[in-house]
Amino acid sequence: MTGFGARGFWLFDLDGTLVDSLPAHAAAFRRALAEQAPGRARSFRYAEIAGLPTLDAAARLVEGPAAAGRLARRKQELYRDGAARGEVVLLPGARNLLDRLRADGRRVHLVTAGSRGSVERVLTACGIQEAFDGIITAEDVPVGKPDPGFYREACRRWGADPGEAVAVEDSAAGVASAVGAGLLVLHVHTGNAAPGAIAVPGLDALTALLGEEVRGAG
């Protein structure tokens, strides 16, 4: 596995990549559905919408934009309450990886399909709000993952050459967005990467691989 150690521009997804938030997201959606669409709650599977912006996910679960909007807002309220209670935590190796990249002079940005309010709540709760040079959320880009426009806009906004950037993702939707935008993509927490990405089993493994590449380049 080679080709990313010398790249200076790193773009991270948040949910499922740096923080263990998927159970909290799933619980918030399930409770919101139980309140607003009980029949849909019984067949709900979070894996089917993981990685999508909240409103896009809601639109797949209920019919009509008004219902989707209500569902999305309620889900966000429930999720933010859970984050404030400590239900979202850093994944193993996240802090070490972010610290290593910044110590090495890399530019580190967050590219997440979450809403800004939810993202800010999680970053504060996990103590990594100062780890990023910039943040793009679903509210800042007119398209969501898996559309390549999400990562293209991130690169345009921050003046990054996609061919010199690395994206770190955990979902097929995120991988598709970054691959389509021309980035080198590391699919973490898996041994079976989505098409176009490189599989990395975890964040500690990524930190170790980064060190090996830097030593090899020296």
Over residues 84-115, the pLDDT tens digits come to 899 999 999 999 999 999 999 999 999 998 88
Q: CB of 84 within 8 A of CB of 41?
A: no
Strand, helix or coil for residue 191: coil
The dihedrals phi and psi of 186, each to the nearest 5 degrees, come to -105, 120
Q: According to the model, what pLDDT value does residue 4 have? A: 79
Question: What integer best gives the mean pLDDT of the chain?
Answer: 92
Q: Is the peptide bond before 146 cis (omega within 30 degrees of 0)?
A: yes
* Whether residue 165 has pLDDT greater than 80: yes
Model confidence band, residue 211 (pLDDT cutoffs 50, 70, 90) = confident
CA gap 95, 53 in Å, rounded: 25
Mean predicted confidence (pLDDT) in 118-122:
93
DSSP code of residue 15:
B
Distances (CA, A) of 49 to 78, 154, 177, 187, 217: 17, 22, 15, 18, 40
Q: Which two tokens stand for residue 77?
A: 């309220």
Instruction: Provide the CATH number for the domain formed by 9-20+88-217 in this structure.
Output: 3.40.50.1000
pTM flag (> 0.95): no
Give 53 or 182, the one with higher predicted confidence.
182
CB contact set of 20 (below 8 Å; sequence gap of 6+): 88, 89, 90, 91
Q: According to the model, what pLDDT value does residue 1 have? A: 47
Model confidence band, residue 3 (pLDDT cutoffs 50, 70, 90) = low
Q: According to the model, what pLDDT value does residue 192 have? A: 96
DSSP code of residue 91:
P
Q: According to the model, what pLDDT value does residue 35 have? A: 96
Sign of the torsion formed by the C-alpha atoms of 88, 93, 97 and 100: positive
* Percent of residues, the chain, with pLDDT higher than 70: 95
Q: According to the model, what pLDDT value does residue 75 have? A: 96
Distances (CA, A) of 213 to 6, 26, 161, 166, 187: 8, 37, 21, 14, 18
Model confidence band, residue 133 (pLDDT cutoffs 50, 70, 90) = very high
